[in-house]
Amino acid sequence: QSALTQPASVSGSPGQSITISCTGTSSDVGSYNLVSWYQHHPGKAPKLMIYEVSKRPSGVSNRFSGSKSGNTASLTISGLQAEDEADYYCCSYAGSSTFGIFGGGTKLTVL
């Protein structure tokens, strides 16, 4: 099964909002509300930012929000800050045989 499709890069200025898309199929994103998003600063441990499409773990800023429509999930970051510059990955449950599938990652640049 192919990886979920994410844009390779997005950018925005401090204070702006950006959205990262994550497109799958009816076998993964479209069938389950089990999409999660991870922030990864190179050299550090990836950090869970969103789970179950739109839930935020304790300690994650409310500037981060998630949503889903059909086969596409989205991560929105509002009020961009320099520290948000990182790679972002989506992940979805993909059924009992494939189990888990990730996106290719999106590099966020804060201009």
Task: State yes or no: residue 36 binds other proteins (CB under 8 A).
Answer: yes
Q: What's the CA angle centered on 62, arms 38 and 107, to 5 degrees?
A: 35
Looking only at residues 4 through 33 of this chain, which bind other proteins when binding is defined by CB under 8 A?
A: 32
Distance CA 46, CA 64 (A): 15
Q: Which of 46, 83, 109, 111 binds other proteins (CB under 8 A)?
A: 46
Q: Which stretch binds other proteins (CB under 8 A): 13-21, 66-74, 77-85, 101-109?
A: 101-109
Residue 57 vs 79, nearer CB to other proteins: 57
What tokens does 29 get? 């994103």
Cα 51 to Cα 14, 103, 111: the distances in Å are: 25, 15, 27
Q: Which stretch binds other proteins (CB under 8 A): 19-27, 39-47, 60-68, 74-82?
A: 39-47
Contacting residues for 43 by C-beta, under 8 A, at least 6 apart: none
Q: Which stretch binds other proteins (CB under 8 A): 17-25, 42-50, 64-72, 73-81?
A: 42-50
Residue 24 vs 80, nearer CB to other proteins: 24
- In this structure, how many other beta carbons lie within 10 angstroms of the beta carbon of residue 70? 10
